[in-house]
Structure 1
Amino acid sequence: MSVKGVTPIENTLEINWQGDQKSIYHNIWLRDNCHCSECYYPITKQRLLNSATIDINIKPKSVNVKEGKVEIVWDTDHSSTYDVDWLRIHSYNPRLIPLDKKLKDDDDVLKQKLWQVKDIKDDLPQVDYNKIMQSSDETDNEEAIKEWLLQIHKFGFSLINNVPISPTDTEKLCEKLNYIRPTHYGGFWDFTADLSKNDTAYTNFDISNHTDGTYWSNSPGLQLFHLLYHDGKGGTTSLVDSFKCAEILKAKYPESYEIFCKIPVPAHSAGEPKVCIQPDIPQPIFKLDHQGKLIQVRWNQSDRSTMDYWENPEDVIKFYKAIKNWVEIITSPENELWYQMKPGQCLIFDNWRIFHSRSEFTGQRRLCGAYFERDDFISRLKLLTLGREAVLDSI
């Protein structure tokens, strides 16, 4: 969209767009976001300008619009040039729809698809191991990886077929996605139910729906499993779309939803003699962004610590009622997808969104897998689906 006119007003600059829309930018904000070579290092996309040196009352000496650019000479004689598309994307007063709709979270390209069992049981998201391993950023052939990332983002999980029944090959698959996150369990892990680590995951117990790592300030973003061997019965995995369940909770039990948004829940990992991990600040079960959109569910009854701090003691009963309402929803057959993992097929899921569980089992069972950071995943997802230019424009 082109610019109809630019008007300096006190400490701001008003841009009038075609279509009778307008944006107001503070002069100091514009000066702070100058991308000339003196103020910004284009290779690393980092600021060189010290924002504290800018005069709060800085004013433009002249303003010109030319060939899709707004050129400003400031009263300090410094010149700044802004692309009009960039200005529109970053309009904050008011916030406008970005020129490139692919930058919007609700665009079809990156729109998440919340599900119940009926929506997904007959068409599970799946990719082929060999196609993923043949993809390469060196040859600009990353379509299989792009499809894989989109499946994980949209549905919260993906199955990878035809994986060699080998921890070495599984680890190579993990590295094809991104960096493996090291923890006190190790980096890439390979284990049986032998309690080599003091955690119920290393037993044959039934484990209820949960997310991993509520005892870390930054819970793992993704988790990958590969069942290498099992000579017994049971050990069936369930998957639950907690975002869909939160939507149901909000509609059916709004007070419980609000409680899960505000009550901080402490957690711990203390099974190992030299480990007692706790988040720096206890966090609510539902984490919302600044616009009130749900972005993470932290749910693990096993790892919840003693809750002995209540700003309002009346919330105690409300919290436990919320747990009852929540468990009613997440264990409903409508929302709990049961799936039997098998050697040669990996499962990867969004640990901020998808609950997993495991039924009790008999016999020997060997599993390998890894954690991944969410930031690394989102970075690669956006670069592959939106393109580097659009992503850089958005920052």
Structure 2
Amino acid sequence: MLSRLVVRASRAAAARPPRTATRAIPPAAARPRRRLLSTTPHRLAPATTAPRAGPRLVEASNPVKGITVQLPGGSTTSFSYVWLRDHCREERSYHPATRQRLVDTPKIPADYRPDAVRSDERGIYVTWPNSSFESTYESFFPWSFLAEHAYNPPVVRQADLPSANSSKVFWTREIAHDMPTVTYDEVMSTEKGVYEWLKRINTFGFSLCSGIPGTPEATEALIRRIAFIRDTHYGGFWDFTANLEHGDLAYSEVRLEAHTDTTYFTDPCGLQLFHLLSPSSSHKGGHNLLVDGFRAASLLEATNPAAHALLSTVPVPSHASGSGSASLPSGVHLRPLVRVPVLNYDEHGELVMVRWNGDDRGVVGGEAFEGAKMDEWYEALRAWEGILRSDEAQLWSQMEVGTAVIFDNLRVLHGRSAFTGERRLCGAYVNGDDYRSRLRGLERQFGGHGGGDARRAALDGVLRERFGILRRGEGKGTVWEDYL
């Protein structure tokens, strides 16, 4: 059966060791001292307070430095004037079409303060002075913006929201009984069809697309419905056989264990699509393998926390060193700028990337593997591969003309069985950022409340139920939709 994993970020982070050992916070003595602001008082305009149940502006403990907001329940949070000026969304400070900052942040005076601050049921209005920095004008900040981005102290914390991975379904081979699938016609004919396709990829890490004409042209048109094709040393859109082109085992008949592609890139490719163009009678074997890497990482953490900790912290070298070609006579000599672990987590303890290819791994050694660490790492690797190679984890399928498979290369590992005969494939990469951008846009268009984003919907609920705040920015157009 499919299983849904929901883990609050704060609990997950507390249970595992720090993800990065190379970015320690410097001691207080080594950090630069804060520049003190001027103590010259300013006038706080009479506030039109919001209803008693809503947030309101109160006299700050240090009114020279910033403002203080009181929320329902009595808690308070403060904002510095520099922060407010830096985050103004009026047109002179923030382009309404491009949503890019126009204010030159380093030029905001460190002792900058307004002439007046007032509030009403919608939010806070700050009147900035006429000065050498700028002419006078007024900024508006919705209560929802201030509550979402409060920092002194924060009023919405990660533990208040669902895990970023809570909408993902972790699967085993049992998913073969109900594979996520869309049709070529629906993807090609409507934006809603593209949304349904990307939604499945986001949820399961992969999706099939059936009913594709058996041509490379139709397949290329399909993947371009998502975004631009990413060009690499393999080219853009591929149409290939087992001819060892590019000096890579993908262009051979040998078995490939479950792996992610382009581990040797500083920015690995996001999506990968394959479509078989040769009939099944042309070859034997060559079955496709998929493994849910996020589920594997979760299982490793639950069953072998020490192995999980090592694979989440020890950086692994990767490379691509294939022979030259007509376009690259000097050969391929790819190395990422930064070595990263197999399992990569964000600052909230959320798994964001699995990066593992045993065939493309470089030489492990040096300080990162000093002492007993090397033997421990090999033991961790055996535990990891034991999960990846278990019958339960592996989804095998026979590829066929007319049905393509697309998967998230940062989550789902893929492989294939060995084959004999002639086997022709086509496909391409898409950048992960382009894919996620496309998904966000379609979520807004078709996702309903919260734009299909569970965390956004949960944030709206916290603001509404805990503080009586609705997300809105009347009179300010669309610049307040995302609070970028």
- Same fold by TM-score greater than 0.5: yes
Distance 1:390 1:246 in 2: 38
Counterpart for residue 342 of structure 2: 285
CA shift, 1:161, in A, is 0.5
Counterpart for residue 82 of structure 1: 141
Counterpart for residue 43 of structure 2: none
Q: Is residue 350 of structure 2 the alignment partner of residue 304 of structure 1?
A: no
Distance 2:257 2:126 in 1: 60
Counterpart for residue 112 of structure 1: 168
Higher fraction of strand: 1
Structural RMSD (CA)? 2.1
- Contact kept? 2:89, 2:479, Cα under 8 Å: no
Match of 1:185 among 221, 228, 234: 234
Counterpart for residue 28 of structure 1: 82
Distance 1:178 1:158 in 2: 16
Give the 3-state SS of the residue equivalent to 1:302 in structure 2: helix
Q: Is residue 367 of structure 2 the alignment partner of residue 339 of structure 1?
A: no
Question: How many positions carry a matched residue from both structures?
Answer: 383
Give the 3-state SS of the residue equivalent to 2:434 in structure 1: helix
CA distance 1:291–1:325, shift in 2 (3 Å): same
Give the 3-state SS of the residue equivalent to 1:48 in structure 2: coil
Counterpart for residue 256 of structure 2: 207
Distance 2:398 2:187 in 1: 23
Higher deviation after alignment, 31-40 or 323-332: 31-40
Q: Is residue 307 of structure 2 the alignment partner of residue 256 of structure 1?
A: yes
Distance 1:3 1:161 in 2: 52
CA distance 1:26–1:381, shift in 2 (3 Å): same
Counterpart for residue 180 of structure 2: 125
CA shift, 1:106, in A, is 4.0
Distance 2:153 2:54 in 1: 17
Distance 1:6 1:207 in 2: 64
Q: Is residue 105 of structure 2 the alignment partner of residue 51 of structure 1?
A: yes
Give the AA of the match of 2:126: I
CA distance 1:123–1:22, shift in 2 (3 Å): farther
Match of 1:272 among 323, 331, 341: 323
Give the AA of the match of 1:124: M
Give the 3-state SS of the residue equivalent to 1:292 in structure 2: coil
Counterpart for residue 408 of structure 2: 350
Give the AA of the match of 1:261: S
Determine which structure has more spread, i.e. the larger CA radius of gyration: 2
Q: Deviations over 1:158-192 (max 9, x none)?
A: 00000000000000001111110000100000000
Counterpart for residue 37 of structure 2: none
Counterpart for residue 138 of structure 1: none
CA distance 1:358–1:391, shift in 2 (3 Å): farther
Q: Is residue 447 of structure 2 the alignment partner of residue 370 of structure 1?
A: no
Q: Is residue 189 of structure 2 the alignment partner of residue 146 of structure 1?
A: no
Q: Is residue 215 of structure 2 the alignment partner of residue 166 of structure 1?
A: yes
CA distance 1:331–1:96, shift in 2 (3 Å): farther
CA shift, 1:21, in A, is 4.2
Distance 1:233 1:83 in 2: 63
CA distance 1:149–1:81, shift in 2 (3 Å): same
Counterpart for residue 243 of structure 1: 294
Higher deviation after alignment, 39-48 or 125-134: 39-48
- Contact kept? 1:234, 1:360, Cα under 8 Å: yes
Give the AA of the match of 1:264: P
Q: Deviations over 1:68-98 (max 9, x none)?
A: 0310124555432112222222223343449
CA distance 1:9–1:58, shift in 2 (3 Å): farther
Give the 3-state SS of the residue equivalent to 1:240 in structure 2: strand
CA shift, 1:67, in A, is 4.3
Match of 2:439 among 361, 364, 381: 381
Q: Deviations over 1:139-163 (max 9, x none)?
A: xxx2111111110001000000000
Higher deviation after alignment, 285-294 or 76-85: 76-85
Match of 1:9 among 41, 50, 61: 61
Give the AA of the match of 2:82: I
